Structure 1
Amino acid sequence: MDEAATGWRSALRRVLPAMLVILLIGSLAALLYNAGKASRDHERALQEQRRSLEVIALARAFDAKTARAEVTLARYVISLDPDTGRLFQDQWRTAASQLKQMSYVTRESQWQRPNVRELEAAFAQRGKTLSEIGLRTTYDQKMAALARFHQAGKSEDLRHINLLLDRVIQAENARLRERSLAVSLAGDRTEWVGKTSRLVGLVLLVCVLFALWLANAAYNERRKAGRQAEDEAARADRLEAAVAARTAELSSAYEQLKKETAERAVVEENLRQMQKMDAVGQLTGGIAHDFNNMLAVVVGGLELAKRKLRLKPQEASRHLDNAMEGATRASALTRRLLAFARSEPLLPRAVDPDKLVTGIAELIDRSIGDQITVDFENAANGWRIFVDQHQMENAVLNLCVNARDAMDGRGRLTISTGQVHLAAQEIGECAEGEYVRLSVADDGCGMTPEVLARVFEPFFTTKPVGKGTGLGLSQIFGFVHQSDGEIRIESAPGKGTCVHIYLPRRISEEGDEPADTLDAEREAVMHPPTRILVVEDDPRVLNQTMAALAELGHLPVACDHPSKAARLLMSHRDIGLIMSDVLMPEMTGPEMIRTLPAAFAHLPVLFVTGYAGDIAESADFGGHEVLRKPYTLLALAHALSSALSGSHHPGTAAAAE
């Protein structure tokens, strides 16, 4: 028994050192492993904390920059200042770079990547919307740009961007809390290792000291991380305060901007009025002369016809024809003036450039004065262009006025048309094909290369203050490009200026002929005698209309006030058509038609107006036929035929005179 105990103790003494060594090595290895793992976890947690704080800072900076860019765009839409537009573009690109940096920082965060991708898509969509607003503003579509900006302020993509930013920040805050917890857990684990090592005793003193060193190092790192976190939090608070201060500053700037906008609107209205008065002053003398000549023909012809009516009826008929021709010329001049003022509907159609230039020759003469000689060289030879005729006339007249100013009111102006064949991109972005070239050349002062490089910039002008807005050539540039054409200017100081407009040739097709030509060639469709209610407040016009309808074989019923129309319809059940003036006291013609009882809603209506601007408001007429004063019996017959047959061709009756 004693031998067995002695052997057991001897074996234990031999094994114990090895066990102690193994225990020491295992303890040291376990301590080193746990300490290393705690250090790595701690460092990883700190890196995640720094990344989360960086993402939060980028998100807040991105939010502030996009808000500032949108406010800058608002200033640009209202002020039309190109520098403000460029400032908006710089701010928007800065916001895009911040978003790109945020995407790079979160490239390894699988839980954050969907939010950032969705934010990038929403930001791109928002950028397209704001770019469209900026483009409208650049081409002087201010009211459309303001309306679009107002809609964009309430759009879902803006709220979506704010929601995504909040989601990114909230996700990073949640991640930050998780990392802080991980740092705390790593410190606790290190402390547990230290407590365990102290129980080993003196044999594991080296391990205990090493563990204490690791614990101290971890504690210092944690304190450092805590200070860094406090610094980042303080920096975030300062950023938030700066954003709040900037928001308050932007709100104040917005209020000031609204005040400046109101003042600018008053100034712009005064400027437009000055320009209108200037144009009226240029045209008044020539127009008054032409109208007096036409009225002299009308009055003289009627007076001579009255004298010759009984004794020489054939000669009286000739005088009446002369009077009718004078009245027709006066009506045509009025129509051209209203067309130039853009009071009529604006639609592109096939236009003969030679006829267009010849048709506005009188307006050009009245606008540039008698001291300038105008030469016309028409060589389009039947080639047509597809443009808005009124805008084209306005562009040519604007170029002529610019040439007049360049020649200081005295010189020679040449307006020419021609046929050219262009290769692909030979002139700007023009495709290969046949083009009509319209040129306006003067022998004025010319332009330097510096001025020539900026002539198409909005608001750029070399004229004195109050003499020009700097929008004429920029509007012509936009119109030509919308018509798939190009514009080129050749100029040199002292050698004059020549402006070339290239527009693609329009191959004639059925339906290209102007409506007035088609209507003039079409015979009136005569309907059986119809009882017609004539609503007209002017007694002279009412009597003339009654006589004209009777001459066409119809049965007119007079109504001198729109309030009497319903009562007359009730008393004359056989009325088959309502012929009404547009502008009348108390209510307009369309308003009268809308207030009639439902029992008369089936009756066809023919509106008559002496103001060409009414025709543009086609929505007010409800699809009914419109006839413009003054009109001939043939034009009246065409209008009655269209109204009674139920076919409506906008502008047909107006052009038939």
Structure 2
Amino acid sequence: MAEREVIDEQDRGWRAAARRYMPLVLGILLIGSLGALLYSASSASRDHQRALAEQQRSWEIMALARAFEAKTARAEVTLARYVISLDPDTGRLFQDQWRTAASQLKSLTYATRKSDWQRGNVRALQAAFEQRGKTLSEIGLRTTYDQKMGALAQFHQAGRSQDIKRLTALIDLVIQAENARLRERSLAVSLAGDRTELVGKTSRMVGLALLVCVLFALWLVNAAYTERRNARRMAEMEAERADRLEEAVSARTSELSDAYEQLKRESAERAAAEDNLRQMQKMDAVGQLTGGIAHDFNNMLAVVVGGLELAKRKLRLKPAEAGHHLDNAMEGANRAAALTRRLLAFARSEPLLPNAVDPDSLLRGMADLVDRTIGDQIIVSFAHKASGWRIFVDQHQMENALLNLCVNARDAMEGRGKLTISTGQAQLAANQIGECPAGDYVTVCVTDNGCGMTAEVAARVFEPFFTTKPVGKGTGLGLSQIFGFVRQSQGEIRIESELGTGTSVHIYLPRRILTEQEAAAEAPASEQLHTLHPPTRILVVEDDPRVLNQTMAALAELGHLPIACDHPSKAAKLLSNNADIGLIMSDVLMPDMTGPEMIRTLPAHMRHLPVLFVTGFTGDATDSDDFRGHEVLRKPYTLNALGLALSNALSGSNHPGTAAAAE
């Protein structure tokens, strides 16, 4: 009995303990369940809010991308209007719109700063936008500086370039990436809703204790639905906005195409008008040229004809006086040749045959000539500061250019004043002076204290036939000739002038560093006499019979054995029949083919012969490659110049330069 009572007492203890602790256990389980349900609900709510926030960010990024695309398109349309209208307000509107687009791009970059999948796309978009901005800015600059036709052409090219296609493609790539991300975020929102529904079902199972949780979950579901509906409404509005933007872009593109067609028509009309104007200017230039130079040529021809006639009369009775008249005739002919050479240089019909020249030595040699030319009442001073630096120019053309500048200075000072001619050294950066590349340059400056000129006159001094001198006093070719010569010598020329104070002309020519061969070729004037050669059989190719006869006689006078060839097509046959020919002397411009073309058509076994080209007017055959490796002699020439040219050709001294023409 006692044992049974003990067992019953134990059973009652366990039951009492169970009744005592069961509510606690159940409470703990209920609290745990409620905590788990609340945690699950809270977690689902956070995930849902995060998904919604990410979804909102995607919409904002797409909206920024669309706004950026619209703003760039509107800026390009504004630039087109600016190029067409040249309205400065439209140009400033384009700049404002482009800066707004840049600001929107910065906003897009900030919005995607935490999106690793967008970082590469946005960087590429920034690079493409900067590249496009440079192109459009260059077009705007051309338009600002009144280069309308160039700006239109460049804008047309920019419209067909890959920059805008790449820009549009990158924007689409950003939007596509956000759409893909948006689908993932929508799926996350959907999963969050499913979890909320699960919490609702569980809350119904636990009863009224979880009713608050269920109501809260329903509230979350309702909020998610509202957000989704708002997102759908925003997507519809964005799609409608994109449609409107596409219609606007299409309309602007159509307007731009119409404007481009109109500009093409206007350009064709303007080109036709410019052709007519150039023809009229050309005819006017011919008239000015005839009136300006005919007097000089008549004077020179009068000296030549009169001198020859007087020499003919005095030849027997007074030979000394006849020689004086012949000297006068030769001087007149030399002056005519110099004038012809200036005209050819202006027309770029005479090739430059440059060599390395010391500008200081050149000025020292011209001192007497300058003094005689400008008169005794002008004080001339020289400043030699080139310090051995050389320039690579045609020496005759350089002398003519400097003498022309001195004459202009004399006229500006009205025969009385101070003239300074100086040389110097300069180190220029790229494009510091005109289009000069970076490097060392020799400067030649001619400065006077004459009347000077206005800015309007200074802007036109290099125009052909422009002159402020009275009719008959100048042709307007001087400074044009100097400008063409300096440009052909790879240099630049600048004029500084102030009305009532004076004028300074600055010539910049690249420094020439002598090679070993050029240094060895330089010799004092006493060593420039031509080397005597034994009588040589020379093939003379010349189509003018009078010039051919004169050349034959001159060669015979020098002791050589000339063979006449009156057409370049006969040269190869004569060379084959006369194997002892030692030199070819050829004119440059002849019927059917030029002298250089004839040399190139000779058989290979004849091309070793030395060649002496004689040129008076080279026309289209001015390519220096045609004369490379051959001696060149200018017409008209003296016997001494002919002998020197023959000596150089036979000796094989094909150094850069040319035998001097008759002066």
Structure 2 length normalisation: TM-score?
0.70
Residue type at the aligned position of 1:172: V
- Show the 5 A alignment for 1:166-245: 168-199=170-201, 200-201=203-204, 202-203=207-208, 204-245=210-251
Q: Which runs of 5+ in 1 are unaligned?
A: 366-372
Are the equivalent residues in 2 in contact too, given 1:516–1:652 (CA < 8 A)?
A: no
* CA deviations over 1:375-426 (Å, ceiling 9, x no partner): 966434556797989799889989999999xx9xx9999784367999x9xx
- 1:536 deviation in Å? 1.6
Matched, 1:605 2:611: yes
In 1: Cα distance, 2:627 partner to 2:417 partner? 43
Q: Percent identity over the alignment?
A: 48
Change in CA separation of 1:294 and 1:500 when aligned onto 2, cut-off 3 Å: closer
Q: Aligned to 1:438, which of 433, 438, 447?
A: 447
* CA deviations over 1:153-174 (Å, ceiling 9, x no partner): 799xx64x45753563353133
Partner of 2:105: 102
- 1:374 deviation in Å? 14
- 1:562 deviation in Å? 2.0
* CA deviations over 1:124-170 (Å, ceiling 9, x no partner): 67877898999999999999x89x97999799xx64x4575356335
Partner of 1:370: none
SS at match of 1:106: helix
In 1: Cα distance, 2:245 partner to 2:658 partner? 66
- 1:644 deviation in Å? 3.0
Are the equivalent residues in 2 in contact too, given 1:66–1:92 (CA < 8 A)?
A: no
Partner of 2:582: 576
- Show the 5 A alignment for 1:357-368: none
Partner of 2:167: 165
Residue type at the aligned position of 1:173: I
Are the equivalent residues in 2 in contact too, given 1:530–1:576 (CA < 8 A)?
A: yes
- 1:7 deviation in Å? 6.1
Matched, 1:47 2:53: no
Are the equivalent residues in 2 in contact too, given 1:378–1:417 (CA < 8 A)?
A: yes
- 1:104 deviation in Å? 5.4
Residue type at the aligned position of 1:602: H
In 1: Cα distance, 2:350 partner to 2:615 partner? 13
Q: Aligned to 1:591, which of 591, 597, 602?
A: 597
Partner of 1:417: 420
- 1:537 deviation in Å? 1.5
Are the equivalent residues in 2 in contact too, given 1:387–1:483 (CA < 8 A)?
A: no
* CA deviations over 1:93-132 (Å, ceiling 9, x no partner): 9657745752553252544445555666677678778989
In 1: Cα distance, 2:632 partner to 2:393 partner? 21
Are the equivalent residues in 2 in contact too, given 1:439–1:501 (CA < 8 A)?
A: no
Q: Aligned to 2:266, which of 238, 251, 260?
A: 260
Partner of 2:473: none
- Show the 5 A alignment for 1:307-346: 307-344=313-350
Residue type at the aligned position of 1:20: L
Residue type at the aligned position of 2:225: Y
Residue type at the aligned position of 1:191: G
Partner of 1:28: 38
Residue type at the aligned position of 2:613: F
Residue type at the aligned position of 1:611: F
**Which stretch shifts more, 169-178 or 59-68?**
59-68
SS at match of 2:559: coil
In 1: Cα distance, 2:372 partner to 2:77 partner? 53
Change in CA separation of 1:361 and 1:24 when aligned onto 2, cut-off 3 Å: farther
Q: Aligned to 1:626, which of 627, 632, 651?
A: 632
SS at match of 2:659: helix
Residue type at the aligned position of 2:40: A
In 1: Cα distance, 2:134 partner to 2:402 partner? 31
Q: Aligned to 1:490, which of 475, 492, 498?
A: 498
SS at match of 2:583: strand
Which structure has the larger Rg?
Answer: 2
* CA deviations over 1:294-334 (Å, ceiling 9, x no partner): 11121122222233334444333332222111111111122
SS at match of 2:653: coil
* CA deviations over 1:350-376 (Å, ceiling 9, x no partner): 65789999989999x9xxxxxxx9996
In 1: Cα distance, 2:66 partner to 2:294 partner? 73
* CA deviations over 1:505-539 (Å, ceiling 9, x no partner): 999999999x9998898212333333222222111
In 1: Cα distance, 2:574 partner to 2:192 partner? 104
Residue type at the aligned position of 2:651: S
In 2: Cα distance, 1:28 partner to 1:399 partner? 103
**Which stretch shifts more, 14-23 or 519-528?**
519-528
Are the equivalent residues in 1 in contact too, given 2:124–2:170 (CA < 8 A)?
A: no
Q: Which runs of 5+ in 2 are unaligned?
A: 1-7, 434-439, 469-475
* CA deviations over 1:534-584 (Å, ceiling 9, x no partner): 222111111112222222222222221222222222222232332222222
Partner of 2:623: 617
Are the equivalent residues in 1 in contact too, given 2:422–2:446 (CA < 8 A)?
A: yes
In 2: Cα distance, 1:548 partner to 1:311 partner? 27
Change in CA separation of 1:46 and 1:153 when aligned onto 2, cut-off 3 Å: closer
- 1:38 deviation in Å? 1.4
Pairwise CA RMSD: 5.9
Are the equivalent residues in 1 in contact too, given 2:310–2:325 (CA < 8 A)?
A: yes
Change in CA separation of 1:592 and 1:133 when aligned onto 2, cut-off 3 Å: farther
Matched, 1:652 2:641: no
**Which stretch shifts more, 206-215 or 375-384?**
375-384
Matched, 1:15 2:25: yes
In 2: Cα distance, 1:375 partner to 1:254 partner? 63
Structure 1 length normalisation: TM-score?
0.71
* CA deviations over 1:453-501 (Å, ceiling 9, x no partner): x979x99x9x9xxxx9xx99xx99x99xx9798755435xxxx575445
In 1: Cα distance, 2:367 partner to 2:282 partner? 23
Are the equivalent residues in 2 in contact too, given 1:519–1:652 (CA < 8 A)?
A: no
In 2: Cα distance, 1:566 partner to 1:601 partner? 11
